[in-house]
A and B are shown apart, each in its own frame.
Chain A
């Protein structure tokens, strides 16, 4: 009886010793494991910047960050040496984007093309993640409104409403690897009533965009929008390729595209040039971000 008791005590003692004599590495690994499984890992930098070439990517500005953007599109390269391969003429868009939260950003801009004022909202609805929350894609909603303010030859008979265009886009993107992401952009356009570049006023389109990271500071991008209707008009589908260059302060996006317009209604619905005809033009976006107040998490 007594011996049995003794054995129990020894067994219990050994048990306690084993439990508590764990070395610190095991405890550290346990804590690391616990922290890793409780974490949600969001896909960072699905695209490098907020724009692919002309259109939006699922990337949002961080909260309280102002982005000043200057974009240029030159004349077609095939306009020859006399026109310095298009560089003698340019249209530009000046834009200001702002991150209200890390999931909601707004922006406004003015384009030389059709003297357009535009404004947009970009809202992240779903964020691709692994870990505690598994989500295969990032989804954003982007409504855009634009006003064509060109003077009309018929002497101001148009209403303000006729000059307005609305564009609604859903961006669905997935980052497949560290270096490659793909995005689909179902788009609906209600175009203004004064431009004669489109036949239908309501245009549906589907876009596809991809980015490939070639170094820490350089990405190559492609973007294409296919119009599902409005086939009777003189417009063509827009196809663009670009390079993103980060320099630490400024961001340069250099691209080749067949679109002159830089607002959604223009480049998706009113692109007049065609790659097959060689009517390709060079363009660039310059962006500089400013942190407006201290970031707090």
Chain B
């Protein structure tokens, strides 16, 4: 009888910890910002998929390039057809780690600064990047924010000279995701 009770407790604990270690979202938010002498361009994607394992620190993102929305229709068309080639490379993604996940106390509310490292894939080109960010624990919900800069030429995206004053070489990317338990 004693053993049975013990096993039940073990089962309960395993269930609890294993069940709550992976968090995900289907409507994360990623924006990017291009600042250039002639115009500022901002685009937003609200259908970002992300998965975070709060025990191991594994962190992944995936988004559809054609789900970015721009203030002007022409920008959206150019972005998908001329720069991202969204038919050829429909998704961009990130696969990496929150390197200091142990510093986050998921039982206690707070904003925990973290560092992220991993492979960012855009336009079919994968580069290792590092970024600073924060994990926010508030009343049992977990969200993550980060912003970092990428150079378009690192990802094989060519900007013709004729529009080089309209599109920046470095793009600021901001991420804001609020996760739910899997």
Contact = CB atoms under 8 A, between A and B. Distances in A.
A44 B22 CA distance: 37
B154 interface: no
Contacts, number: 100
Contacts of A13: 7, 10-11, 14
A31 B49 contact: yes
Given A6-B7, A295-B73, A297-B69, 19 more contacts: A6-B4, A9-B11, A13-B14, A16-B14, A22-B22, A24-B22, A24-B52, A27-B24, A27-B51, A28-B24, A28-B60, A31-B24, A35-B26, A45-B81, A64-B73, A65-B74, A248-B160, A248-B166, A291-B71
A64 B76 CA distance: 14
B15 A32 contact: no
B99 interface: no
Q: How large is the interface on A (under 10, 10 to 19, 20 to 34, 35 or more residues)?
A: 35 or more
B51 A216 contact: no
B92 to A, nearest CB: 12
Interface in B12-41: 14-15, 18-19, 21-22, 24, 26
A25 interface: yes
Interface in A203-251: 216-217, 247-248
A250 to B, nearest CB: 10
A289 B49 contact: no
A65 B49 contact: no
Contacts of A28: 24, 49, 51, 60, 62
Given A35-B26, A295-B71, A248 B14 contact: no
Contact of B87 (A5, A10, A178, A297): A178
A9 B7 contact: yes
Nearest to B73: A62
A150 interface: no
Nearest to B70: A295
Interface string B33-69: 0000000000000010101110000111010100001
Given A9-B8, A10-B7, A295-B72, A248 B60 contact: no
